[in-house]
A and B are shown apart, each in its own frame.
Chain A
């Protein structure tokens, strides 16, 4: 039989889109749809008509490959040039490299988890529209993990602390903060995952993560990290529209969905804000050349943008999460509290800690006129004096952690910056502790989930964070050294103060040989 020759040679964009997305779906007959999509209903979200889903971006897979391949070519050309020209010697100062360690260890593996999460929900939604969109986002997230790892791998040849990031994500104490955030989202149902990651993180909070890191890279001469940021930007725009469409769709499908969605927005905005504490300290303390203060970033990207967003969502009956009120107060404090934490625990961290210089403290005073001099400068000046007298302060006792965000209990009462905020719940005869009302509320809503938290401090004390050959009964057993060995953290190289580190000495020497004979 001859092939018909009169058909159109090329499909129109609209036709092609319809065939390659919606046209791929079918109603199953051998198995009931409820068995094919077993996760679609248990969360209580009611969807009556999946066809009402409006595809937020009309992209087919073939076009997707084409765009992404073009972006990859540009990115890797720039990365090659940066690496071959020893671009790392052009950064402001090797302290900057520690922000990359934080990113590679704490953020890039989350991109990979986002890939897994979106692949999972991209399988589980009964509607084909969100399924296709989630599959594309899943591929984006994989690409982000890869490009970030590639662009930072060059630093691994010259600097300490980059060598074992996948392993460290599973083991190092503070890594349980970003890891548990994503594990929490990933182990929820598909709708909660979309509110958690698709909306709360990718829409409400994403600028607070990426703008500081990418601008920080640009300000500090790191063209490699800057370029992966730009290469991810158009993907991020797509992710934001997907997150928002998902919220709109759930809210329009059934009024019973509104309280469930509101609860998830409240929970995940707070979970995200707590994780962003790491970004806050990065902006205020770790960038040698600073972009803006955390407080300023918060005001622009949360207070202005999110207020406008929640005003828009008001017509659906959604309101700004209550936790925003506490975040408004906390913006004056969290960066200082977090950096003070990493400074004192830098013997057990995989990046360096250091004290702000007197010029940097003046910058902090100017940016935080209501809090820095009163509450935080005395602490840093005291440590500077101690360090100058040969007593650099290393805290070697393990801290109490919040059961939900897993951050040490470093945060203060919203009404009193000199008082640690203690909250407590009892469940099935055991006590649980929290850093805030919002973390306590999250626990109280689903205690069975959070009693499983792998809290690093509790795990160390149970003896679960030593190598198999470690013998705690030996008289010379040093628990801290043994925990570092378990972390695969090179004691004396990856950790401790930046001043006196190999990174500092090497950077100085290499920069000198690159500019002088």
Chain B
């Protein structure tokens, strides 16, 4: 439903892709690892290789979790907007079909957080 207003109500998107200097925002959460209280947000170049996200960005963000070192990345299950999804690590974010403000989740079978608590 449109906003009820006394005059024209222009569309002012505060985080449209043109405001990110060529980057796109990407959100990634690690299921069952709520020690990280929320999914993470990054602004990344769409030409970045997906594998570089895992190898170059994830360790600084997820690495504090004791499960992180145990992840077998070939067995990780990915979800995009809640639906199963398979990335190609050697292709770029854009080639993997990732756009501005896409939201990914990954699950690591067998790794269920601190003492299996989902933390």
A residues whose Cβ falls under 8 Å from a Cβ of B: 38-39, 42-44, 189, 337, 340-341, 344-345, 374-376, 378-379, 382-383, 391, 393, 395-401, 408-410, 412, 417-420, 422, 424, 428, 430-433, 445-446, 448-449, 451-455, 457-459, 461-463
Contact = CB atoms under 8 A, between A and B. Distances in A.
Q: Nearest 6 pairs between A and B by C-beta?
A: A418-B118, A399-B38, A408-B38, A461-B43, A458-B15, A379-B119
19 contacts: A39-B6, A344-B37, A375-B119, A378-B115, A399-B39, A400-B27, A400-B29, A400-B40, A400-B41, A408-B37, A409-B39, A418-B117, A419-B31, A420-B38, A424-B103, A431-B100, A445-B1, A461-B20, A462-B43
Contacts of A463: 21
Contacts of B102: 431
Which of B12, B82, B118 has the most C-beta atoms of chain A within 10 angstroms of its own C-beta? B118
What DSSP secondary structure best describes chain B's contact surface? loop
Interface of B: 1-6, 9, 11-17, 19-21, 23, 25, 27, 29, 31-32, 34-43, 60-61, 64, 66, 81-82, 99-103, 105, 112-115, 117-119
A419 B2 CA distance: 33
A379 B3 contact: no
A344 B64 CA distance: 11
A397 B15 CA distance: 19
B39 A455 contact: no
A412 B32 CA distance: 10
Given A397-B60, A400-B103, A448-B11, A43 B4 contact: yes
A467 B107 CA distance: 39
B38 A400 contact: yes
A410 B119 CA distance: 12
Contacts of B42: 397-398, 461
A341 B35 contact: no
B14 A422 contact: no
Contacts of A408: 37-38
Given A430-B16, A431-B100, A431-B101, A379 B32 contact: no
Which of A189, A393, A448 has the most C-beta atoms of chain B within 10 angstroms of its own C-beta? A448
Which of A39, A408, A457 has the most C-beta atoms of chain B within 10 angstroms of its own C-beta? A457
